[in-house]
Chains A and B, each alone.
Chain A
Amino acid sequence: DIVMTQSPDSLAVSLGERATINCKSSQSVLHSPDNKHHLAWYQQKPGQPPKLLIYWASTRQSGVPDRFSGSGSGTDFTLTINSLRAEDVAVYYCQQHYGTPPWTFGHGTQVEIK
């Protein structure tokens, strides 16, 4: 199975500032047939299921604000939240969907307001 490692476990950011979350996969998730990285990001708020934010490492899901952006390649990926807002307080997860199952998730990064 591909192991997904996120860092940090938690971070506190001032309102209006930038939050940066890292995710590392144990092997490349670059899918040669479509030349895309099969890496997704989710946001989860208390009592709710995860919400899909980004897929293909950098493509925002419809309706996701453009302050959320994804980047990276190979095995190293980043979710950036620009101009942090109070409603962005949540746990963020990465997930790989490369090749065949099982699909695996990182253990999450808690974003809080400083």
Chain B
Amino acid sequence: QVQLQQSGPGLLKPSQTLSLTCAISGDSVSSNTATWNWIRQSPSRGLEWLGRTNYRSRWYSDYAPSVKSRITISPDTSKNQFSLQLNSVSPEDTAVYYCARRFCRGIMCLDVFDLWGQGTLVTVSS
């Protein structure tokens, strides 16, 4: 059974760097069909897709314009996991952060999300 297990701190001060990790079991971060995403949820911004990484002969990453200048999503093949780094956080970055895998059925894949981590509440406060 495929699972995603998130880890990382839940309390940050403004200007610090948010770092979260999503450990994958039952699938491979280097899969040629999967994409590995970070999504956050807050009362003010709702569900917000932040970015993704995937391997297609080489590693690719895409980011939402709203965070593009501050975000890095990267794989760790040795640990079969991927991570989120968000720099210079502010209280507006307070949210529940989720990692998620896109849905594939056979060779058909869609950018919707059928597997999610448990969520990590990250609070940014001085």
Q: A residues engaging B (CB < 8 A)? A: 1, 38, 40, 49-50, 52, 55-56, 61, 93, 95, 97, 100-108
Closest to A55 in B: B112
Counting chain A CB atoms within 10 Å of each CB, which of B112, B117, B118 scores highest?
B112
- Please state if B112 and A97 are interface contacts (CB–CB under 8 Å): yes
Is chain A's binding surface mostly helix, strand, loop or mixed?
loop
A100 to B100, CA, bound (A): 17
Q: Is B64 an interface residue (CB 8 A)?
A: yes
CB neighbors of A among B82-113 (8 A)? 98, 100, 103, 110-113
Determine the chain B residues whose CB is within 8 A of the CB of A105 once the complex forms: 46-49
Mask: chain B, 109-126; 1 = CB below 8 Å from A; 0 = not: 011111011110000000
A–B Cβ pairs within 8 angstroms, 24 of them: A38-B110, A40-B110, A49-B98, A49-B117, A49-B118, A49-B119, A50-B47, A50-B113, A50-B116, A52-B112, A52-B113, A55-B103, A55-B110, A56-B110, A61-B114, A93-B46, A93-B47, A95-B47, A101-B51, A101-B111, A102-B65, A103-B49, A103-B111, A105-B46
- Please state if B65 and A1 are interface contacts (CB–CB under 8 Å): yes
Closest to B117 in A: A49
Q: B residues engaging A (CB < 8 A)? A: 46-49, 51-52, 62, 64-66, 98, 100, 103, 110-114, 116-119
Determine the chain B residues whose CB is within 8 A of the CB of A61 once the complex forms: 103, 114
Determine the chain A residues whose CB is within 8 A of the CB of B111 once the complex forms: 38, 97, 101, 103
Counting chain A CB atoms within 10 Å of each CB, which of B48, B65, B103, B111 scores highest?
B111
Determine the chain B residues whose CB is within 8 A of the CB of A50 once the complex forms: 47, 113, 116
Going nearest first, the 3 A-B pairs with the smallest beta carbon separation are A49-B116, A105-B47, A97-B111
- Please state if A95 and B112 are interface contacts (CB–CB under 8 Å): yes
A105 to B111, CA, bound (A): 12
A108 to B100, CA, bound (A): 19
- Please state if B47 and A52 are interface contacts (CB–CB under 8 Å): no
Given known contacts A49-B98, A50-B113, A101 and B49 CB-to-CB distance under 8 angstroms: yes
